[in-house]
A and B are shown apart, each in its own frame.
Chain A
């Protein structure tokens, strides 16, 4: 009886593992394919049949890609906007969320209505552009940071997280003489690392990948981001060159496809590297034992 139960479990588990493994492969393989294609000679990739490893290894795609000094500048702008945008976004979102998480807050219904409304409805690109212009944010680094400092979506998530924190924590700190700011910075934030890490990851990825603001709201070449430069490469490789020109440049080994996959790798890798460092904060039960009954 027990044995057959175990056998059933084993079969069931095996099926689950196999299915999960297949799902994992389908998720990971496109990344892997892009990676090997970026190290393969472009004209060789066109012939097909490159599946497991580069057949004709080359660094030429990366050389052509990095030949332009603009890349380094764009990389720095992207790093700067990602770091500062994420930190400031976290700070403002958590401050506002903490204020709104108080259940006895006056007019809280009004605030929530406004927040939810703002989350679902936006004025559209043109009014947004006009607002940015009248605030004097166009063509400045601030346009990357200020508009994205408060995300209504994360605000709601942070509010519900802060509401989960036992009120006794705050009360005991009050009794010990702590002010609101002390409570927020020294008690609430340290126990909120899971939600902060989650927000930081999404905000960071969002900042890193954002190219639209760089395209529409900025004209200065100095302020272009890495993601924008990627778009440039992808756009240019869609250039309707005549096929002879393509054949001529393909004989040099680099094709529009190989440039595109290279730009994908360059844009994905840095943000993938950040992920493991944030993962350790995704821990539940951080509040366990914080309040003694």
Chain B
């Protein structure tokens, strides 16, 4: 009896202890949080480097897809040799990891991010570059435009994004062309020949040829479009200066894309393609971005709308499938109105966090990467080994820049913690590829307006909600316009879309955008 009572009490005490600990409660736990210098910190080992030795800094890359995960290879070795810094790299597993580190205060020495630039541009989390430059690297010069883009409300800038170029820089570099992510249309060479090689110099010419194809090859789809590259090529030809979810500027004021007067012409054009049977209705419902490729490389389509490298890519696939036809690119400019506005601000920036154990070495490391030598080393590889400089003003590569395996395994390009769009754009200059010409055409009609890119709605703001709702609505309504049964119906659907946008709060959004735009423009003066 006694025994059983004492057992109950012991059992009760034991259970109580276990249950309380199972709760994960930290009551009464006085253990000190691990200092950031301990191996337990998310930043990894942060032991200060001994003088005269190579310093190791921890770097967190906030991009789960990042192809390089270790600081190794000839490019990394050369950067270490030049700067005395090597990096201990951690690549994010998902997009929640960095916010977790920020919230818990466990930050590494350096963070490279694109989606958390605003969040890390905060004096509590990161050192501002202007103070570090002033203190440790007074000869590190950054141009005004980049500083303007990254200056926060507190007057400091905390990073400079890579992959950005100004109009001036691009103009001065003939061979810097930009990336693969530009729209292009490829057409079947053999079929053009059978049609008697009709010239395609304008949009009307192109539409005429689509008509000929439909007539002569009724079983073929005249134009197939990648699900992510439906509008861009044609928007550029109409000179709308914006995609469907962006801003365009006129006489110092900004307006939302769908209000652009040329938009209606664009929608009428797309609708006419559908009504004439040149595009498929189901093209707007494709969920997979490989279906269009199968149409093109399987010989079921005459024209393929995708990127500037469509012809090159399709031809590689056709060859490996033992096909006997080939694609060639249409000119990137098919109208006198054609225009492309680049409002991009760059891709990712590096932050020197407040946990950084050697801000001086860090800013000097960035300074080296920002030098002409550093930019070329990062982007092209080791001079003499991977490339030689051509006096014309571009690198002659000793490898194929499209060979991802070679590029990734040598760490070429991906250590661009500081770089620019000019150097990066030279990777695209491969004279024997069709995409090179397509990019050159596009370059001739591109204007740079980074101040428009600074019109960014903030998370959880009212503007963001309105913009998200409008973009979602446009996504659904645009297909109704494309697939309208007559031009009148298309115009009515377009007007209905505008009305919907007004009802959601387009005017309010536009007013906010103009206020922001004026404020941001000041930074560039």
Interface on A for B, CB 8 Å cutoff? 43, 46-48, 92, 96, 99-100, 102, 104-107, 110-111, 114-115, 117-118, 122-123, 125-126, 128-131, 133-136, 138-139, 147, 150, 152, 155, 180, 211-212, 215-216, 219, 228, 231-232, 235-236, 238-251
Contact = CB atoms under 8 A, between A and B. Distances in A.
Interface residues of B, number: 66
Nearest to A215: B93
A242 B402 contact: yes
A133 B24 contact: no
Interface in B378-409: 400, 402-405, 407
B12 A107 contact: yes
Nearest to A217: B42
Contacts of A47: 294, 298, 321
A134 B33 contact: yes
B285 interface: no
Contacts, number: 165
Given A99-B15, A139-B40, A244-B313, A129 B321 contact: no
Contacts of A150: 18, 22
Q: Which of A211, A239, A243, A251 has the most CB of B within 10 A?
A: A243
A125 B32 CA distance: 19
Given A133-B40, A133-B106, A138-B34, A118 B26 contact: no
Interface in B44-76: 44, 64-67, 69
Interface string B77-113: 0000000000000110110110010011010000000
B66 to A, nearest CB: 7
A119 to B, nearest CB: 10
A126 B67 CA distance: 28
B161 interface: no
A117 B163 CA distance: 50
Contact of B67 (A92, A105, A135, A236): A236
Among all A-B residue pairs, the 6 with the closest Cβ atoms: A242-B180, A215-B93, A245-B404, A235-B64, A239-B65, A244-B402
B320 interface: yes
B23 A114 contact: yes
B388 to A, nearest CB: 23
A242 B181 contact: yes
A99 B93 contact: no
Given A110-B16, A115-B22, A235-B64, 17 more contacts: A43-B317, A99-B11, A107-B12, A118-B19, A118-B23, A125-B96, A126-B100, A126-B104, A129-B100, A136-B31, A138-B42, A232-B93, A239-B65, A241-B67, A244-B313, A245-B404, A248-B402
A47 B318 CA distance: 11
Interface string B428-449: 0000010100000000000000
Given A47-B294, A106-B9, A114-B20, A235 B93 contact: yes
Contacts of B91: 232
A126 B96 CA distance: 10
A115 B180 CA distance: 55
A54 to B, nearest CB: 17
Given A43-B320, A235-B65, A236-B67, A133 B16 contact: no
A246 B65 contact: no
A131 to B, nearest CB: 5
Contacts of A133: 33-34, 40, 104, 106
Given A114-B20, A215-B94, A249-B405, A96 B65 contact: no
B179 interface: yes
A255 to B, nearest CB: 10
Contacts of A235: 64-65, 93-94
A235 B65 CA distance: 5
A107 B16 contact: yes
A282 to B, nearest CB: 27
Contact of A244 (B12, B19, B309): B309
Contact of A219 (B42, B66, B317, B405): B42
Contacts of B458: none
Contacts of B15: 96, 99-100, 105, 111
A105 B12 contact: yes
B307 A243 contact: yes
A248 B403 contact: yes
Contacts of B97: 215-216
B274 to A, nearest CB: 25
B67 A239 contact: yes
B290 interface: yes
12 contacts: A46-B290, A99-B15, A105-B8, A106-B12, A129-B100, A133-B104, A231-B64, A236-B66, A239-B66, A246-B404, A248-B402, A250-B320
Contact of B24 (A100, A126, A128, A250): A128
B287 interface: no
A92 B7 CA distance: 18
A102 B11 CA distance: 9
B255 interface: no
A96 to B, nearest CB: 5
B34 A247 contact: no
Nearest to A137: B40
Contacts of B65: 235-236, 238-240
Nearest to B93: A215
A82 to B, nearest CB: 20
Q: Which of B9, B23, B66, B433 has the most CB of A within 10 A?
A: B23
B226 to A, nearest CB: 9
A135 B31 contact: yes
B474 to A, nearest CB: 24
Nearest to B108: A219
B43 to A, nearest CB: 8
A20 B93 CA distance: 39
A136 B40 contact: yes
Given A244-B309, A245-B404, A248-B402, A219 B11 contact: no
Nearest to A92: B18
A81 B295 CA distance: 47
Contacts of A107: 12, 16
A249 B405 CA distance: 8
B19 to A, nearest CB: 5
A258 to B, nearest CB: 13
Interface string B97-132: 100100110100000000000000000000000000
